[in-house]
Amino acid sequence: MTSPESADAARAFEVTFDGRPVEALPGRTIAAVLWAAGITSWRTTRDGGRPRGVFCGIGVCFDCLVTVNGRPGRRACLVPARPGDVIRTQEGTGHED
Amino acid sequence: MSESLTCDVVVVGAGMTGAACALYAARAGLGVTVVDRGPVAGGTTGAGEGNLLVSDKAPGPELGLALLSLRLWAELAARYGPDIEYDAKGGLVVAETPEAVDGLRAFADAQRAAGVTAEAVPADRLHDLEPRLAPALPGGVRYPQDAQVMPALAAAHLLKASGARLLTGHEVTRVLRARDGAVRGVRTTRGDVHAPAVVNAAGTWGGELASRADVFLPVMPRRGFVLVTEPLPPRIRHKVYAADYVADVAGDTADLLASPVVEGTAAGPVLIGASRERVGFDRSLSLRAVRALAAGATRLFPFLSEVRAVRTYAGFRPYLPDHLPAIGPDPRAPGLFHACGHEGAGIGLAPGTGLLVAQALTGETPGLDLAPFRPDRFPRPTKEAAR
């Protein structure tokens, strides 16, 4: 009989965060995947360049914005991770000036 | 706890108009108390875009008030500009059809005769002004006098600058009248404030406040939604809108009107308006309205179709049947002054309104003829007519 952990592990896939591989489990949001990997900050503020990660965790506050597959401004707490996702720290608006 | 206070003038409403009335009354030497049932900028002031416009106004009393107000905004900006995110960005009105170009140019000619600066922009120059505008638009008009502020900040900073006593969370239940009809102050849910003058700056709720002074003023709500995008680097330089917006502003239909009005903000998000509906004080989200806003904005700026809208908010413009505000003394209630009913133009028209009210309060000759804004110009409907 397999334990839930090993069943999960069998279904694990990989995404990248700022170029390095991070293991993800199915059904987890990008925020959950990053937290599970010990990453708590993935955006810098527009004015002061201060670090940001999850604040409300339920899609309301727009603090956890991150760039996913080249598209900035995604809410990490809502977007499910998918195999091969390229996740990058978002600096400022994430749009080129 | 009950308070009993005395001052020279009570301003009812801590929105942009109330703040401007407080500022100019205080500058005229009056002791001012501002009361509001909610917080500062809790009504229509906090639900708009902060437009300071001459571009959408036809020659007439409202344009006169707008020109005065724009001059006063520029003076205020010299002192408070960065705090209130004042941006003299100018407006760009674009036509979407060749016929609309003709209409727009004729409108601009009339405005120019009334003191508005309006520069015709041919099709091949539109992108010099707004590089991301849709291709193949047939032309437009640039209005360098148009500007923008962040309205909640503007109301808060001008209230602070006025030095007025501010009583938020105080709802006025009665305007107190003496036996001879003269105004004596206001009764609030937390005590009375005594004063020989009361200014009705209650915005969309100005009709209700008037009824608490036993006078009739038919201020009605006209709902509008604003769609807010994710923060972007500066991409849209002017306040940009389609020529049919002017017709919508003056329109009289109850059903949804939506014409694109697009502008960037100091904080980064792009604000997309403007819808107009007469649905009472119904705050429920109208998907139909916000879809129309998004469609209009992406028609003017195709790049916006790749930008995420992160939220929407709604507010209620205070309109009177002839689309002009009520400004000045109310002959039906000596000591009562009105400063409300500015529809969607209240932020822009606030300083002029405040100055005119202060002049009326101190017995000075007002800088503009107040006759078109008389608060007693609407007859109270008889019971027969109301039926």
**CATH code for the domain in which residue A70 is found:** 3.10.20.440
Closest-CA residue of A relative to B230 is A73
User: Nearest C-alpha of chain B: how many angstroms from A94?
Assistant: 8
Closest-CA residue of A relative to B306 is A71
For position A5, what pLDDT does the model report? 59
For position A1, what pLDDT does the model report? 47
> Residue B313 forms beta bridges with which residues?
B226
Q: Which amino acid is at B309?
A: A
Chain A contact set for B308 (CB, 8 A): 73
For position B186, what pLDDT does the model report? 98
Residue A95 included in any domain: no
User: Nearest C-alpha of chain B: how many angstroms from A37?
Assistant: 27
Task: From residue B63, give the alpha-carbon distance in Å to each of A83, B171, B275, B345.
Answer: 59, 33, 22, 11
Interface touch A65/B268, C-beta < 8 Å: no
Residue A53 included in any domain: yes
Residues belonging to chain B? 387
Chain B contact set for A93 (CB, 8 A): 230-233, 268
For position B106, what pLDDT does the model report? 93
One digit per residue, pLDDT tens: chain B, 387 residues? 455 679 999 999 999 999 999 999 999 999 999 999 999 999 999 999 999 999 999 999 999 999 999 999 999 999 999 999 999 999 999 998 888 899 999 999 999 999 999 999 999 999 999 999 999 999 999 999 999 999 999 999 999 999 999 999 999 999 999 999 999 999 999 999 999 999 999 999 999 999 999 999 999 999 999 999 988 999 999 999 998 877 666 666 777 888 889 999 888 899 999 899 999 999 999 999 999 999 999 999 999 998 989 899 999 999 999 999 999 999 999 999 999 999 999 999 999 999 999 999 999 999 999 999 999 999 988 765 554
Interface touch B233/A65, C-beta < 8 Å: no
Count of Cβ atoms closer than 10 Å to residue B194 Cβ? 15
Interface touch A62/B308, C-beta < 8 Å: no
Residue A45 included in any domain: yes
Residue A96 included in any domain: no
Q: At B91, which helix (H) or strand (E)?
A: strand B91-95
Q: Tens of pLDDT along B81-105?
A: 999 999 999 999 999 888 889 999 9
pLDDT band of A4, cuts 50, 70, 90:
low
What is the domain extent for residue A73? Answer: 4-90
Residue A32 included in any domain: yes
Cβ of A73 under 8 Å from any chain B Cβ? yes
- ipTM confidence score: 0.74
How large is the average pLDDT for residues A32-58? Answer: 94
Beta strand A71-75 with B32-36 is unpaired
User: Nearest C-alpha of chain A: how many angstroms from B89?
Assistant: 19
Q: How many CA atoms lie within 13 A of B67 on its CB side?
A: 17
- In angstroms, the CA B178 to CA B320 distance is 28
Query: Given the structure tokens 């604003």, which residue do they identify?
Result: B226
Looking at per-residue pLDDT, the higher value among A66 and B384 belongs to A66
Closest-CA residue of A relative to B309 is A73
Structure tokens at A71: 């598209």
Interface touch A95/B310, C-beta < 8 Å: no
Residue A19 included in any domain: yes
H-state helical runs in chain B: 16-27, 61-80, 98-113, 126-129, 151-162, 206-211, 244-250, 287-300, 346-361, 383-386
Interface touch B231/A93, C-beta < 8 Å: yes
Interface touch A93/B310, C-beta < 8 Å: no
* DSSP code at position B279: B
Residue A28 included in any domain: yes
Residues of B with CB under 8 A from a CB of A: 230-234, 268, 308, 310
Q: How many domains does chain A have?
A: 1
Closest-CA residue of B relative to A65 is B230
Q: Determine which of B132, B229, B232 to mutate to test the interface with A (most A C-beta atoms within 10 Å).
A: B232
Please report the number of interchain residue pairs, chain A to chain B, with beta-carbon separation below 8 angstroms: 21
Phi-psi region of B300 (alpha: psi -120 to 50; beta: other; left: phi over 0): alpha
Residue A77 included in any domain: yes
> Residue B272 forms beta bridges with which residues?
B227, B262
Cβ of A46 under 8 Å from any chain B Cβ? yes
Using CB atoms, which residue from B231, B308, B310 is nearest to A46?
B231
Residue B344 contacts residue B356 (beta carbons within 8 Å): no
Q: Determine which of A95, A96, A97 to mutate to test the interface with B (most B C-beta atoms within 10 Å).
A: A95
